[in-house]
Amino acid sequence: MDPRHLFADERPKGFCVHCGGASETRDHCPSEVLLDEPLPPQLAVIEACGECNQGFSKDGLYVACLIESIVCGSAEPGGVSRPKIKSALEDNPALASQLRASQHTDDDGNLIWNVKTDRVRNVFLKLARGHVAYELTLPQLGEPDQFEYAPITLLSEEQRSGFESPGQRLAIWPEIGSRAFIRASKAFGDVAGSGAWIVVQPGRYRYLVDQSKGTLVQIVLSEYLVCRIAWD
């Protein structure tokens, strides 16, 4: 039996994997704004309704610009490193102004950013649902049981070690016919198995999906902001 013909993709089709509404558009996962040009080939695509797609696009732009501004210490177009974010800030002066207004200096001279946490959560949850639907063909429309994110620099050595290697792999096989199953079976040679990190673009985006205990998704943006989302 050829594992390449086992894809069980019918369940996440015909409806938005984020809200369960009618499927009206197709959405890249991860969003292109989180990646640099040239984009990786064959980016994952999932189905979404127009409202979710449009709303997530705005939040994704905010998060991408926020992370780059924090990393570079500036929300000025000329003060950031990523060309895509520089263009985004130039084309969206209102967003650039909003980001500049969200920064202040504390008594010790440290630059502090007031983050719109609801928008960050929205983006991470959207990404996690997209990865689960794409990798496991088991959409998660409900609220997660665990949700946490933080700058990777704030993690202790023990916390970072646990995040990078979150438990024993392959406690169970992924859904038969799913992409995660094919990764685990190594049908295409030495590729990542279930629960292993999948690097979409080095230094910019990586994630893992694991089913050892419930459904776990971990995401790292720009090797700066990390997130862990789980459904029991």
Provide the residue-wise pLDDT of the chain in tens; the chain has 232 residues: 444 444 555 555 678 999 999 888 888 999 999 999 999 998 999 989 999 988 889 999 999 999 999 999 999 999 999 999 999 999 999 999 999 999 999 888 888 999 999 999 999 999 999 999 998 888 899 999 999 999 999 999 999 999 998 754 444 444 545 555 455 445 444 334 456 899 999 999 999 998 888 899 999 999 999 999 999 9
The β-bridge partners of 46 are 27
The whole domain housing 137 covers 3-231
36 phi, psi to nearest 5 deg = -100, 160
- Token pair in block for residue 220: 């790292």
Task: Supply φ then ψ for residue 72, to 5 degrees.
Answer: -90, -10
Q: What is the pTM for the complete model shown?
A: 0.84
Q: For the CA atoms of the chain, what is the radius of gyration?
A: 18
Q: Output the CA torsion 56→222→131→30 (10° steps).
A: 50
How many domains are there within the chain?
1
Please, which residues bridge with residue 147 across strands?
A: 229
**Residue 123 CA from chain centroid, whole number:** 7
CA–CA distances in Å: residue 217 to residues 56, 197, 206, 211: 18, 10, 11, 9
Q: Which ranges of 104-190 does DSSP label H, i.e. alpha helix? A: 117-136, 157-164, 179-185
β pairing state of 45-48 and 111-113: unpaired
